[in-house]
């Protein structure tokens, strides 16, 4: 699959949304009942597919090979390839850009319907999708926290895509340790207006020529700000000043000082920015100002960060899917060597060789397991916003919170592993840039680093998410899995349910061990945190895949072997079996390693790490 050949498939996407998830429950909520029926999803996904195939994917070659060029200056410091303009305008005009983030608009699209669109866009061009996704995230913070006057001033043109948006967290000395923020904001005589001074780096879409203006959400501290995250505020800092009537004014002393030369996603502009080099940069405080040095910036920015963490998992899924479909296409046409069972026979397509089939099934299983995990979480997130019963909203909000670190960290970790298998399927051609998996491997690696490196999410999962409200939400999460295993047993999947029973028992031992270590061996929890997160992800994905297999078996029995969709359902069943019987057993290895409780990694003297 060359850079500009879009092979993405939508059948499993439609299965997950229209057949598997209880979408009727969501569409009966007040936010959607007068606007959408289940079949309306097809229109959105079909239009998105055509845009991805005909517009985004052809521009991906320019994204990777030309990329964004830094030219400096106060206007547009970064220039994009010409093909980007058509992509950006087409996506925004189709309503598939930042418009989806307008959560106050009547007839808005459910987030669980937008997730597949985002997946497909990322699969078409991992870099270009950034330009509207970061804008959408920035609007979330403004919608939820800013004054009505600021909403009216900034949101309409951000929703339309006329203006871009960023999140300005990272600094040279404050990466994952956001509390070390040194950017300052100084109050002026105008209430809510602050002068800004400081530097930020690794700012995705920090500047470009696709939008008229860039609206930065900047984390900064007042001179009396408390140490750590407690003293952080969040401010709206436009590159060009926005007047009261919404018109664009003078340059706001936001300087792009350089573009990062990255391993992948070359078509996404990642910049270093300087605010107030000429002492003339201003921004509006979001919400109430700080009180005695305490700001609300981190709580506000976390609304965007949690959204972007789910999105990051979805971006990773798009890369996984594109690499898999490219490998599948290649293996169907590449002829090499006779079958193992017929050594003197003719050479056959490599899809007929056992290990190639294993690699393809692994990629298919990872694609569908990660898709199920993400779509389930977006579905829960929708219900957390739109269910009528406050108790039900809280329940789904808790479940979403628990799943977010799994969606971000597990999916992005598996992207690197699965795309490596896609490269392997191509043999030597996989190492050649002409074929898509090479660039996808470079592109996907950023996802385990973005929005908090993945170990931070392992800490979150084994720490705050496991203990919040005395562990009650986590007990509910575990009960969902336990009840499924106990209640859904089927003779047709006897081996798979037996594996899930044993694996879930092992996972419960893992949970108990983590709880013991929380008090007695806290460093061990750090050493094994990532492995525990992966084990939890395997367990929930195993449950989801087996749930889908039960539905697929039912559909297959109803439709019969001769139906045109029979092979799809057979594939769902086989993929679930493979995931449960080949991937989920990784839980046992984690438990065995935890029982051994090896600490050589931290016991080894630093100077011996040679």
Show which residues are catalytic.
Answer: 451
Instruction: For residue 243, give the DSSP letter.
Output: -
Q: What values do phi and psi take at 164, rounded to 5?
A: -95, 175
Distance between CA atoms of residues 549 and 36, nearest Å: 27
Contact 377, 390 (CB under 8 A): no
The residues pairing with 273 across neighbouring beta strands, listed in sequence order, are: 200, 256
Q: Residue 512, exposed/middle/buried by CB under 10 A (0-12, 13-18, 19+)?
A: exposed
- Within its chain, how far is the Cα of 79 from the centroid? 26
Q: Using alpha carbons, select from 242, 262, 246, 240 the residue that is nearest to residue 77.
A: 240
The residue count of the chain comes to: 610
Contact 115, 318 (CB under 8 A): no
The CA-based angle 74-190-293, given to 5 degrees, is 95
Beta strands in 267-346 (DSSP E): 270-275, 282-285, 335-338
CA separation (Å) from 368 to 277, 312, 317, 371, 473? 49, 17, 9, 5, 26
CA separation (Å) from 316 to 35, 138, 165, 584? 31, 21, 21, 20
Of all helices (H) and strands (E), which one includes residue 257? strand 254-259
Distance between CA atoms of residues 460 and 480, nearest Å: 21
- Within its chain, how far is the Cα of 572 from the centroid? 23
């Amino acid at each position: 699959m060359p850079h500009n050949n879009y092979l993405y498939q939508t059948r499993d996407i439609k299965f997950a949304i229209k057949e598997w998830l209880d979408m009727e429950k969501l569409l009966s909520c007040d936010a959607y009942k007068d606007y959408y029926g289940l079949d309306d999803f097809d229109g959105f996904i079909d239009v998105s597919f055509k845009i991805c195939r005909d517009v985004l994917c052809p521009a991906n070659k320019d994204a990777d090979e030309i990329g964004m060029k830094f030219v400096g200056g106060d206007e547009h410091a970064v220039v994009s390839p010409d093909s980007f303009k058509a992509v950006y305008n087409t996506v925004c005009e189709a309503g598939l850009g930042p418009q989806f983030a307008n959560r106050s608009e009547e007839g808005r699209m459910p987030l669980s319907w937008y997730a597949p669109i985002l997946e497909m866009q990322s699969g078409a061009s991992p870099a270009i999708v950034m330009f509207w996704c970061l804008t959408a995230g920035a609007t979330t913070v403004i919608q939820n926290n800013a004054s009505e006057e600021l909403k009216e001033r900034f949101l309409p043109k951000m929703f339309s895509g006329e203006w871009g948006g960023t999140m300005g967290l990272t600094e040279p000395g404050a990466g994952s340790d956001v509390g070390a923020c040194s950017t300052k904001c100084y109050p002026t005589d105008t209430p809510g207006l602050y002068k800004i001074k400081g530097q930020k780096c690794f700012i995705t879409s920090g500047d470009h020529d696709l939008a008229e203006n860039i609206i930065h959400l900047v984390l900064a501290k007042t001179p009396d700000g408390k140490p750590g995250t407690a003293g952080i505020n969040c401010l709206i800092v436009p590159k060009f000043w926005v007047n009261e009537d919404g018109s664009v004014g003078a340059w706001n002393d936001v300087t792009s000082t350089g573009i990062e030369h990255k391993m992948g996603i070359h078509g996404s502009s990642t910049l270093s920015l300087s605010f107030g080099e000429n002492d003339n940069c201003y921004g509006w405080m979001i919400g109430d100002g700080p009180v005695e040095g305490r700001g609300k910036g981190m709580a506000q920015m976390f609304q965007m960060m949690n959204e972007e963490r789910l999105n990051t998992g979805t971006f990773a899924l798009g890369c996984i899917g594109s690499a898999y479909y490219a490998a599948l296409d290649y293996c169907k046409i590449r002829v090499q060597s006779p079958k193992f069972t017929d050594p003197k026979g003719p050479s056959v397509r490599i899809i007929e060789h056992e290990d190639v089939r294993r690699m393809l099934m692994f990629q298919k299983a990872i694609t569908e397991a990660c898709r199920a995990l993400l779509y389930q979480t977006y579905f829960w997130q929708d219900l957390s916003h739109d269910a009528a019963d406050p108790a039900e909203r809280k329940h789904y909000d808790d479940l979403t919170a628990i799943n977010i670190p799994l969606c971000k960290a597990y999916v992005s970790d598996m992207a690197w592993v699965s795309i490596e298998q896609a490269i392997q399927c191509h043999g030597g051609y996989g190492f050649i840039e002409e074929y898509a998996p090479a660039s996808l491997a470079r592109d996907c690696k950023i996802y385990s680093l973005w929005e908090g490196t993945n170990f931070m999410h392992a800490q979150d999962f084994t720490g705050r998410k496991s203990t919040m409200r005395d562990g009650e939400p986590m007990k509910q999460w575990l009960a969902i899995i336990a009840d499924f295993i106990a209640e859904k047993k089927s003779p047709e999947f006897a081996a798979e349910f037996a594996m899930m029973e044993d694996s879930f028992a092992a996972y419960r031992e893992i949970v108990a061990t983590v709880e013991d270590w929380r008090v007695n061996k806290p460093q061990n929890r750090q050493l094994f945190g990532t492995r525990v997160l992966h084990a939890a992800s395997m367990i929930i994905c195993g449950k989801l895949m087996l749930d889908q297999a039960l539905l697929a078996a039912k559909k297959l029995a109803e439709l019969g072997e001769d139906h045109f969709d029979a092979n799809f359902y057979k594939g769902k069943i086989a993929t679930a079996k493979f995931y449960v019987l080949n991937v989920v057993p990784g839980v046992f290895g984690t438990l065995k390693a935890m029982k051994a409780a090896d600490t050589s990694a931290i016991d080894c003297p630093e100077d011996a790490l040679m």
